[in-house]
Structure formats: C-alpha cells, structure tokens
Amino acid sequence: MIKVHNTLSNKKEEFKPKKENFVSMYVCGVTPYDEVHLGHARAYVVFDIIKRHLLKRGYQVRHVQNFTDVDDKIIKRSQEKNIEPSELTHIYINDYFVQTDKLNILKAEVYPRVTQMIPQIINFIKDLVDKGFAYEVGGDVYFSIYKFKDYGKLSKRNLDNLKAGIRCGICGDKNSVFDFVLWKKTRGNEPKEVVWDSPWGKGRPGWHIECSVMSSELLGDTIDIHGGGQDLIFPHHENEIAQSEAKTGKHFVKYWIHNGFVTINKEKISKSINNFFTLKTIFKKYNPRVVRYYLLTQHYLSPLDFSDAGLNTAKNTLQGMDDAYLRLVSSAKESTMEITDKDLLDLQNKFLTALDDDFNSEKALSYLHELKNKILNELFTANTTRLARLRKLFEDFAENSLGIVPPKEQKNNKDLQNLLKKRNETRKNKNWAESDRLRKLIDEEGYKIVDNKNGSSVLVKKL
C-alpha cells in the first residue's frame, strides 16, 4: 500500500487513484526565460522518483508537465536580447531537456505550452465570467476570490487574516485587492506573437489560468496528483483550485504533493547574494550522477541544503558503490532469473516498502547501501548464480527505482584495457615501479583501478 503526504489535508493518506491501475499526474514546469537551476532539479528528480515507483508498483502513469512560454519575464528578457519570445523560449526549453537528461529524468508523456492552448484558455475564462466567478475591467479579466467559498484551503490562509495584513485597501479597478488576473490586456509594448484577440480585446493569459486549462484538457476535470515546489502552494496552486473548481463544480486534485526548498550553504537561493547556480554550472564541477544521488539523500518534504561538503560526501559514497558494482560485474553476468533467496527478497521488500511510505528515497538509499555491503562480503565466496542475483537486485534498486544508472565496464576502450593488461603483468612480475607508473597513466585518463583478491583488476571511472 502506497501512502502519500497530501498538502491539502496535511496528512499522510493511502493512495487510491480515480481509476484502479491508472494515475494522472500534472507537474508544473519551467518558465523558459533562463537556464535550469537547482530548484528545478530537485522538483523534477522528486517527481521522477514518484513516477518510477508508481510504474514499479504496476500503475500506468500519464504524466503532463507544461512549459509556461508566455510571461512577463520572457517578454522582458527577449527584449533585452533583441530576439522574439519564441526564439528565447526555444533556447531554454532545449536547455531544460539537455540538463534533465543528464539527471536521467524520465520524459513526461506530454509537454504542453501555453501558446498551443490559447483558444481553450479563452473558453475557460468565458465560462468563469458566465458563472459569475470572474469579471472584466477595461480589457483585463479577474477572478473574484470572495465568490469561491473554499479559497485558502490548500495554503491554510484565511482571507480575513490576509486582509488584516494589507496596509492599503487600494486595489485599482479590481473588486478586491486579492482578485487575480485571468486575462491581461495588451499595454502596447508587447511583441505581436504574444498578443491574441479575445472577447475582452487584445491580450494574453494570466499565469494561474494556464495550468488549470492544460491539466483539464489533457487529464480531465479531476486528476490524481498535482505538484511542484513548496513555493507554488500559494498563490499559484491555491488559485488553480479556485478557478478549476469554480468552473467544473468538481474536486480538482486528489493528492497535492510539494517538495521542500533548496538552500545553498544554509542560505536561500538568491541572485542578489550570488548563490544562484544553474545546473550547467554545477555539472562543470560535479558529475550529474552525484547531483542526482545527493538530491535523493533527504526526504522530499524536507529542506535540502546544497553545499560542496554535502556534494563531496555524496561523490565519495557513490564512488564506493561504483567500485563495488564493477567488481561484481567482473564476476557476474546479467541475469533474468527470478530472485528466490530469502535474504534478498526481504531486502527487496524493505526497499519497496520505504518508497511505498511517501516515496522515502533517503530510507531506500540505506537499503541500497545494505545491498552494496552484502556484495562486498560475498564477492569471493558466493557462487555465480548468487552473484548474478545480487547484480540483478542492485541494478533494479539503483537504476529502475532510483534512477542512478550504474557505471559500465570500459571493455570497449582498447587503450585503457592495454594499459590495464600491462599493469597486471608488471604486478605479476613484481615490477612495482612500472606498475605504479601505469596506474598513474590510467589515473590521468580519469579512471581508478580496483584490484580484486583473485588477482583481477577493474577500471572505475572517477566521479
């Protein structure tokens, strides 16, 4: 039984999707005006783990993740670069896929864009106006939050308390200072390609309406999982609930899932204090496998502090796993046989149960470590069948569930294999000086040598 922490109830609940073996999942995507950064990485690794485990447990998953390709920031950045908004978003959407591919994140089934759904957005807003939940003022259309009685149920914010915190009651043409925009009229300086005709004049969609429309069009009026970072709970997801449920009269989302914030050296990520790092920058210093591993070391609800010390610890830990795995690979072939060993079945059950319990990657990693230690203890005593089963289970834990692809042997690199062969010969002849020289050459190529007790050696790429 899978249990999920639902932000709406603030409780851990048994996971029961609308359809028995099918899960609909919508994850808020990036606004492509800049390169992908750490905050994005954590969110998409978290939902990748969720998707992988649901698939492992036999569910079909229809995963939708949008690109907000119309936004004030996009318009401003494109004008600064003197290019069209579509050209800017093309650059950064490509960057998103390049960087997330390095993190081994599974693709969504659909990646809708706002610009592809303008007619549907306009119709959605018209319905809200017709039902009395929205109103137009001079070409702008606003959602009237006082018309939606359950506003604040996700973020646990009370409108009266919010009102008390507002120093000035001036709200311009809006009925309330809290009303949010559904359609923005053009101010005359926007590029033509981000301006559309509507019943209220030329303009473009507001931010919140876009996700309500894309999710309902592609997944239906009620979806199983909706999520993103904690910063999206209010106002974005709160507003999504209001406009979606106002339009349909149906429950919008069964399970709201939000990952914790990322800090850097205990400080909140901010460009103003120069601790804002893109994945491209981080990957110059750290292997993406190390970054992914590090992102899994804390439960997704907890804040994660991103530091060089933490990354270096993750690097050393993962290097140890790579060493153990490649030593195993040198002794065990791939196998499709069923795992029948009681201790391995018990370990497998513990691993999957950890992920059943609100996708606890931190605890699941502890069982991967337990498996690694079992491998090292049995490497030279177990028979080939047992070693093959150990290999199969390690690959299932590491790659299929956690997305940490184990390294491959370097058998196709003839130069490295020749150096290794020569070194093994020098060791056999006790020519230690030459052996050390060859080890250094291999080290300079970015590999380390792990010598097994049986006299064989394995090349492991350094992280």
Q: Domain limits of the chain? A: 3-259, 279-401, 414-461
262-264 and 304-306 beta bridge pairing: parallel
Q: Which two tokens stand for residue 35?
A: 């390169």
Residue 397, pLDDT score: 98
Question: What pTM, to 2 d.p., does this model score?
Answer: 0.93
Identify the DSSP state of 460.
E
Residue 265, pLDDT score: 77
SS3 456: coil
Mean pLDDT of the chain: 92
Q: Tell me the DSSP string of 146-207.
A: GGSTTTTTTTT--HHHHHHT-S----TTSSSTT-EEEEEE--S-S-GGG-B--TT-SEEE-H
Q: Which two tokens stand for residue 397?
A: 């834990």
Same fold across 3-259 and 279-401: no
> Distance of alpha carbon 439 from its chain centroid, rounded?
39
> Distance of alpha carbon 349 from its chain centroid, rounded?
25
CB atoms near residue 317 (< 10 Å): 18
Amino acid at position 143, single letter: F
Residue 159 sits at the vertex; the CA angle it makes with 156 and 164, to the nearest 5 degrees, is 115
Which portions of the chain are predicted below pLDDT 50?
164-165, 167-169
Q: Going by C-beta distance under 8 Å and a sequence separation of 6 or more, which residues neighbour residue 305?
A: 262, 263, 264, 265, 266
Distance CA 223, CA 244 (A): 11
431-440 burial, b if ≥16 CB within 10 A, otherwise e? eeeebeebbe
Residue indicated by tokens 């915190």: 165
Three-state SS for 369-388 is HHHHHHHHHHCCCCCHHHHH
Distance CA 178, CA 102 (A): 41
Fold of 3-259: Rossmann fold (3.40.50)
CATH code at 279-401: 1.10.730.10
Residue 108, pLDDT score: 98
Q: Going by C-beta distance under 8 Å and a sequence separation of 6 or more, which residues neighbour residue 428?
A: 455
Q: In angstroms, what is the C-alpha Rg of the chain?
A: 26
From the list 175, 244, 247, 174, the residue with the least C-alpha distance to 208 is 244
Residue 272, pLDDT score: 58
Please check whether residue 203 is in contact with residue 186, taking contact to mean a CB–CB distance below 8 angstroms. Answer: yes
Residue indicated by tokens 């491959």: 408
Amino acid at position 283, single letter: F
Residue indicated by tokens 């130069």: 415
Identify the DSSP state of 406.
P
Q: Put the strands of the sheet holding 267-268 in their side by side order.
A: 267-268, 262-264, 304-306
Q: Indicate the burial class of 119 (C-beta count within 10 angstroms; 0-12, 13-18, 19 or more).
A: exposed
Distance CA 309, CA 289 (A): 16
Q: Tell me the DSSP string of 37-88.
A: BHHHHHHHHHHHHHHHHHHHTT-EEEEEE-B----HHHHHHHHHHTS-HHHH
Measured on CA atoms in the order 393, 394, 397, 403, is the torsion positive or negative? negative
Distance CA 448, CA 456 (A): 14
